[in-house]
Amino acid sequence: MVMLNRLSVEDPDDGSPLLSEAAEAAVPMPDIHRQQVVTRTDSEGFFLCRRGNFAFSLVLLIGCYLAILIPAYFPLNKLSAVSDDYQHPKDLALLNRSASLLSGPCQPHWCLNHLKPLSCSAGLQDIPVFVQQDRSVPWDLPPPLGLQGSKEHLTLALASLPQPGLPPSLKREGSCRRCVVVGSGGVLHGSHLGSHIDQYDIIIRLNNAPVTGFERDAGSHTTIRMMYPEGAPHSANEYKNTTIVALVVFKSLDLDWLTSVINKQPLSFWSKLWFWREVVDDIPLRPENFRILHPEIIHKTGQVLQKYALKQGNMVPTLGASAVVMALQLCDQVSLAGFGYDMEHPEARLHYYETIHMDAMKSQVVHDVSAEKLFLRDLVAAGAVTDLTGAL
């Protein structure tokens, strides 16, 4: 026994145990050895736990990236357009009223007859709609109220237009026509007026207000899209089912842009620097589908609005108000959809196609939207136009 106690339990050469497992089990293990085994077991569990935490953190990180990137590639306005497909119309009374209006016969000269009570009626009649070579334009006022300093630019643009005047399809002679001016107001969202809008003879839209994805509320056809270069839609889909693109000239370079688009010859890099937003190089329409809005439409609209404004001076109206005045020249009956800013509810939707709120209008100082609303209300009250969405 004494000699056994003096034997080493390990071979000094290879480190393998000399005692059998049974003998080793019979020998009491010192406390320090037991602690080392426990420590090693805890360490292995710790590292296994670290790997699990690392995998969980990686999944969490990827999830955060997806949460950030998905809204960037799928804009909120597009998602809302899809998610609202199964909602009921927000105002059945307005929808029924619109259907009743369309079911009746067109009333010739309706607008002109109902404009007479208004003091501004004389300024709203007999205004040329599109620029053509045989009709004069005001050269003493700068764009958009006139074409001062733009003679050479206009000459080149008109030379690119095979039919600069009013197309035969839009002339009122011998037929009664109905117009609808589709505004961009958030009140159009959820209206379900799209199928009604498409039944009008002339459908007028403004700038880059989209059709694709919003057909249920805004319709799918466009007769005239009024726009300036910076407001032109970039998607080719927005020009489908479009008869006319009418350029609103705000600077001489806008005419050069129109010439370049018609002739499929993009502007130079230096010319593009003068635009305050990136402009499109190509619009998938034929040359005969382009027109130049006569500046008298903008000028006369501004003069009428001056009677409703608190400040005096040359007023630049919005394209919406100008489009209403243009519609009065083209049609016997005029309806409005998507008009009326509700400034008393700043959290309301500003546009039907995006989620920007109404309070964003407070930052703009170019247009007098209060004067325009009073003007449009007078037209509605006189019965000269019909408000389909009920925000006026």
pLDDT in tens, 46-100: 444 566 666 666 666 666 545 444 443 333 344 344 344 446 787 899 999 999 9
Instruction: Give the tokens for residue 249.
Output: 């000239």
- Higher pLDDT among residues 365 and 347, named by residue: 347
Report phi then psi at 246, rounded to 5.
-105, 115
- On the question of pLDDT at 137 being above 50, the answer is yes
The C-alpha atoms of residue 359 and residue 348 are separated, in whole angstroms, by 8
What value does the mean pLDDT take over residues 159-180? 88
- Label residue 230 exposed, middle or buried (CB < 10 Å: 0-12, 13-18, 19+): middle
How is domain 93-387 classified at the CATH fold level? sialyltransferase cstii, chain A (3.90.1480)
Least confident of 8-22, 156-170, 290-304, 376-390: 8-22
- On the question of pLDDT at 244 being above 90, the answer is yes
- Domain-wise residue ranges, the chain: 31-76, 93-387
- On the question of pLDDT at 250 being above 80, the answer is yes
- Where do the H-state alpha helices sit in the chain? 2-6, 21-26, 31-73, 76-83, 92-103, 110-115, 151-160, 194-197, 215-218, 252-262, 269-272, 295-305, 319-330, 369-381
The C-alpha atoms of residue 331 and residue 11 are separated, in whole angstroms, by 110
Predicted confidence at residue 277, as pLDDT, reads 94
Instruction: Give the tokens for residue 49.
Output: 């736990």
Question: pLDDT digits over 265-321, tens only?
Answer: 999 999 999 999 999 999 999 999 999 999 999 999 999 999 998 877 778 999 999
Spacing of C-alpha 148 from chain mean position? 31
| CA quadruple 214, 103, 324, 204: dihedral, nearest 10 | 40
**Which of 229, 227, 286, 254 lies closest to 153, judged by CA?**
254
The C-alpha atoms of residue 377 and residue 391 are separated, in whole angstroms, by 10
Report phi then psi at 360, rounded to 5.
-65, -20
Per-residue confidence band for 22, with pLDDT thresholds at 50, 70 and 90: very low
- Report the side by side order of strands in the sheet with 333-337: 290-292, 242-247, 222-227, 202-206, 178-182, 333-337, 385-387
